[in-house]
Amino acid sequence: MDAMTIGMTALALVLILLAMRVPIAFVLAGVASLGTFLVYATRTGGWSPERALNPTSSVVLSNFFDLVHSYDLSMVPLFVALGNIAFYAGITTRIYDAAAVWLRTVPGGVAMASVLGCGGFSAISGSSIACASTMGRICVPEMLRMGYDPRLATSSVAVGGTLGSLIPPSVLFILYGIFTETSIAQLFLAGILPGLLSLAGMMLVIAWWVSRDPSAAPRGSSDGASKTEAAIAAWPALLLFVVIVGGIYGGIFTATEAAAVCVVLTTAIGFAQRRLTFEVLWRAIRESLVQTSAIFLIAGAAKIFVSFVALTGVAGAIVGMVEDAQLSYVMLLFVIVVIYLVLGMFLDPIGIMVLTLPFMIPLVEGYGMDLIWFGVIVVKLLEIGLITPPVGLNVFVVSNVTKNVGIDKIFAGVSRFLLIDFLVLIILLAFPIISIIIPASM
């Protein structure tokens, strides 16, 4: 059995195991380790398992060790901790609180405030699922109490939660930067305009929905809360966003340094405002450790899988097949979009990214595509996958935290937002300048 056959068989096995819902870290590491062993054991033409043990263990352990000790990966625990500490300090939800006060009397205003709140949460936490879970607990019950259509109440949070993938900082951008060896700081900046464009599109959908069906979002009444005080209360969230984006853009901080500064700043603000205690801080740190460990396991397993793919030559063979097919630039993009959309219906975003990048990056480089721009496209596609049936993770997260709204109703509401998401995707594909203009101006 030659290396190419082993590689193609391993890839098919990975897809089968993932379809069976086996955890992706175990799938990638297990299949890659076994495949690497088989490649070395059959390299001489016969069967020599004793010769495969040392090189296999060296490949597996060295790749995992190198990734975990990567400097760039150190920003993952920092940004995860930032999101958790900011949540317990009450910082991540204050943009929603301010927006709800200002927009409560506007048709669909609370739903719009939910999307803005998700954008603000995303600008600190960098996690779409955490955003959907947290904002779902806060926003959906209030909208249901006001008489909002359950489809609008839940879908606005499920869709708004996807902004965590695009608006910096984003864990997906960090992993993409590590595996493609592109600048994570530039990726963060590249996601700003596409993230704001997506947010604006969501707001337009809510306005259109309410204009066609005013009963879907009854107007709220002003509760006497001061708009000025609500806006001022949101200053910690705005400060953190300015430190991250402004610090990176101005060359004051690297992305890792910005994360570290913001963790210290958030902790200080939390204690100064008496929203944090040492017990609560330890709880946030524990949660960050668990979440970081899961990401590290997946990333380490992916690194082993990437090494196995390179060893078998499968990526080169796929690139050769595409070149032989003489696909046009537009046709290649269409195929890539379809692949990511199909995978997004069944797999989680991190899993899709680490599974596809070993094959996609050689392709897009061969066609001369900008890797920063392509990273934005990939993350936007993964964002869409978070709300597409049958396995839209954000939809299930919102359903779990709201309990009394069925999955079918949430998907029915989300379907109205998908069209605008596809429109934004087409705009980003057609006009790469939207994604690269800010990082290019650094």
Residue 425: pLDDT over 90: yes
Spatial distance between the Cα atoms of 33 and 29, rounded to a whole number of angstroms:
6
The answer to whether residues 111 and 148 touch, using CB atoms and an 8 Å cutoff, is yes
Q: What phi-psi label fits residue 335: left (phi over 0), alpha (psi between -120 and 50 degrees) or beta?
A: alpha
Spatial distance between the Cα atoms of 106 and 31, rounded to a whole number of angstroms:
54
- pLDDT category of residue 130 using cuts at 50, 70 and 90: confident
Spatial distance between the Cα atoms of 416 and 398, rounded to a whole number of angstroms:
17
What's the pTM?
0.85
Residue 219: pLDDT over 80: no
Q: 277: which residues sit within 8 A by CB, 6+ positions away? A: none
* Alpha-helix residue ranges (DSSP H) falling in 20-91: 24-41, 49-68, 75-88
How many other CB atoms are found less than 10 A from the CB of residue 202? Answer: 27
The residue-averaged pLDDT of 174-183 equals 88
pLDDT score recorded for residue 198: 92
Decide which of 379 and 48 is more confident: 379
DSSP letter string over 317-359? HHHHHHHHHT--HHHHHHHHHHHHHHHHTTS-HHHHHHHHHHH
Residue 352: pLDDT over 80: yes
How many other CB atoms are found less than 10 A from the CB of residue 57? Answer: 13
Enter the tokens of residue 303: 């690194």
Angstrom distances, CA of residue 78 to CA of 116, 169, 181, 234, 257 = 24, 11, 20, 22, 9
What pLDDT digit, counting tens, does each position of 248-307 carry? 888 888 888 888 999 999 999 999 988 889 999 999 999 889 888 888 888 888 888 888
Spatial distance between the Cα atoms of 263 and 83, rounded to a whole number of angstroms:
9
φ/ψ (deg, to 5) at 412: -60, -40
Residue 67: pLDDT over 90: no
Residue 3: pLDDT over 60: yes
Residue 95: pLDDT over 60: yes
The residue-averaged pLDDT of 34-51 equals 82
Spatial distance between the Cα atoms of 219 and 112, rounded to a whole number of angstroms:
12
pLDDT score recorded for residue 436: 92
The residue-averaged pLDDT of 29-49 equals 84
The answer to whether residues 122 and 380 touch, using CB atoms and an 8 Å cutoff, is no
The residue-averaged pLDDT of 411-438 equals 92
**Secondary structure (3-state) at 189:** helix
Residue 222: pLDDT over 70: no
Spatial distance between the Cα atoms of 234 and 350, rounded to a whole number of angstroms:
31
Residue 169 preceded by cis peptide, ω within 30: yes
pLDDT score recorded for residue 379: 93
Residue 239: pLDDT over 60: yes
pLDDT score recorded for residue 377: 95
Q: 66: which residues sit within 8 A by CB, 6+ positions away? A: 303
Spatial distance between the Cα atoms of 100 and 165, rounded to a whole number of angstroms:
23
**Percent of the chain scored above 70 by pLDDT?**
97
Angstrom distances, CA of residue 191 to CA of 62, 122, 147, 165 = 32, 12, 35, 9
What pLDDT digit, counting tens, does each position of 364-420 carry? 888 888 999 999 999 999 989 888 887 777 888 888 877 777 888 888 889 899 999
- pLDDT category of residue 225 using cuts at 50, 70 and 90: low
Q: 278: which residues sit within 8 A by CB, 6+ positions away? A: none
pLDDT score recorded for residue 394: 83
Domain boundaries, the chain: 72-293+369-440
How high is the mean pLDDT of the chain?
85
How many other CB atoms are found less than 10 A from the CB of residue 282? Answer: 10
Which of 9-13, 18-22, 88-92 is predicted most confidently? Answer: 9-13
The answer to whether residues 435 and 188 touch, using CB atoms and an 8 Å cutoff, is no
- pLDDT category of residue 223 using cuts at 50, 70 and 90: low
pLDDT score recorded for residue 372: 94
Residue 1: pLDDT over 70: no
